[in-house]
């Protein structure tokens, strides 16, 4: 949802200076590695959000667009209502655990399906890697390369014959388990969206996803 709002309502060319509000302190949180004072474009932050699952990038986008994480979460909830995602409530832009932050597989489908209508979203989630060149708080040049975590895209898991993975988004927290939503296309060009939530480990996540998407071509 963070990426959907950023692409639809933001300016990809905007220059964003990362503030301390982007800092994530939760143990085990996935980060893209930006720091307060770094200056990037909105587009670079979107790559940092979607490829390495940078929760810090999510916060930076939220603060830039709405002034605070909390205000941006309000925009996310309004967008969810517009999409009919009635079993979803956001407390933050990153998806980190909160008792009042929840969704369902169907609502995730609604959100992801809307995002897949955006060429820039499709471009970013379809990338295997991305190198961002930007400046830090002292004005020094920084270069970071982020690599995709989706095993179908990085070759760690084989995609069933007859399907092409267009891209996806992983997510992992202690409460949600190992999760993946992704889009795939069959040889006739028809697209599908598949979701697995609350897997116990990565191996189980991709085993379950393979079982689901194999049914497309069976």
**Which residues in the chain land under pLDDT 50?**
none
Note the pLDDT of residue 70: 96
The pLDDT value recorded for residue 213 is 98
d(CA 71, CA 27): 24
Radius of gyration of the chain (CA): 17
Interval 134-192: pLDDT, tens:
999 999 999 999 999 999 999 999 999 999 999 999 999 888 999 999 999 999 999 99
**Going edge to edge, which strands form the sheet with 39-41?**
15-17, 39-41, 129-135, 141-147
H/E stretch holding 61 reads helix 55-66
Question: Which pLDDT does position 29 carry in this prediction?
Answer: 85
List, in order of start, the domains of the chain with CATH numbers. Answer: 1-148 (3.40.710.10), 149-217 (3.30.160)
Q: Rounded to the nearest 5 degrees, what angle is found at the Cα of 17, between the Cα atoms of 11 and 23?
A: 110
d(CA 165, CA 193): 10
CA distance 102 to 138: 39
């Amino acid at each position: 949802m963070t990426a959907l709002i950023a692409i639809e309502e933001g300016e990809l060319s905007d220059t964003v200076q990362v503030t301390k509000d982007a800092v994530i302190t939760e143990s085990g949180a996935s980060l893209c590695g930006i720091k307060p004072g770094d200056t990037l474009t909105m587009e670079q932050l979107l790559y940092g959000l979607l490829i390495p699952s940078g929760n810090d990038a999510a916060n930076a986008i939220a603060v830039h667009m709405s002034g605070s994480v909390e205000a941006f979460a309000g925009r996310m909830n309004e967008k969810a209502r517009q999409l009919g995602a009635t079993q979803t409530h956001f407390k933050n832009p990153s998806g980190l655990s909160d008792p009042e932050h929840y969704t369902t597989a169907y609502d995730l489908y609604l959100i992801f399906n809307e995002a897949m209508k955006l060429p820039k979203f499709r471009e970013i989630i379809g990338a295997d890697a991305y190198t961002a060149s930007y400046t830090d708080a002292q004005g020094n040049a920084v270069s970071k390369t982020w690599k995709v975590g989706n095993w179908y895209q990085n070759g760690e898991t084989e995609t069933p014959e007859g399907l092409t993975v267009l891209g996806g988004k992983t997510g992992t927290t202690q409460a949600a388990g190992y999760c993946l939503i992704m889009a795939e296309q069959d040889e006739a060009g028809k697209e599908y969206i598949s979701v697995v939530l609350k897997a116990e480990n990565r191996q189980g996540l991709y085993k379950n996803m393979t079982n689901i998407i194999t049914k497309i071509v069976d």
